[in-house]
Amino acid sequence: MIIGIVDVGIGNIGSLTGVLNYLGLNTKLLEQPKDFANCTHLILPGVGTFNEGMTRLRAMNIAESIIDFAHSGRPILGICLGMHLLATSGEEGGVNTGLSLIPGNITHLPVLNGYRLPHIGWNTVTELKHHPLTKGFKQSVDFYFVHSYCFNPASVESMVGITDCGIEFCSCVGKENVFGVQFHPEKSQRNGMILLENFCSWDGNA
């Protein structure tokens, strides 16, 4: 098993490889199309803006590689910005087309009285339906969030988990072998490790 981690050169890759290695999993950084070949799983991590993320995926010629990987049926996990890039389009840094692996768009969280933005800190994920990646979660578990934009899936079918930050937004999204989480499992201690272990033992069947 080789867990490929897409490295677009923005953001924190170290802590993700750190936690996967701690769990005894083999990781490989992916920087060009030929790196994808022998990976069994793919993680699209991310800190950064939607615009910057997509621009870099295209410049490195790996946007197509990710889409091909998804079509091969192997499991993909998008984290934070990586989750957003799975969508059809995003409005952060100007409107841009995403990888279109899960229909939906990325919009700014609404400004609400009594709630501070960005949404930063630990918050609860409520499961809407069971999924192989959320197996073993305790009821109402907390994960670490740090974001201002959120994923609006086109279909409620793909909403796996939601979180309340004044409004309820989709914090876990899944369609077939593609899954995305708004929070950072690599920063969420035990609960995050459960999700990452689930992902790395997942065959891609939802």
Q: At its nearest, how many Å lie between another protein and the CB of residue 174?
A: 23
- Residue from the set 5, 159, 186, 197 that interacts with another protein by CB under 8 A: 186
Please say which residue, 69 or 143, places its beta carbon nearer to another protein.
143
- Is 98 a binding residue for another protein by CB under 8 A? The answer is no
Tell me how crowded residue 130 is: count the other CB atoms within 10 A of its CB. 11
| Residue 80 near residue 151 (C-beta atoms within 8 A) | no
d(CA 136, CA 22): 19
Please say which residue, 74 or 119, places its beta carbon nearer to another protein.
119
Q: Which of residues 35-54 bind another protein (CB under 8 A)?
A: 47-49, 52
* Catalytic sites, residue numbers: 80, 184, 186
- Is 119 a binding residue for another protein by CB under 8 A? The answer is yes
Can you tell me which residue has the tokens 């984290």? 79
Please say which residue, 6 or 19, places its beta carbon nearer to another protein.
19
Using CB under 8 A, list all residues that contact another protein.
Answer: 10-15, 18-19, 21-22, 47-49, 52, 81, 92-93, 111, 115-124, 140-142, 144-148, 164-165, 184, 186-190, 192-193
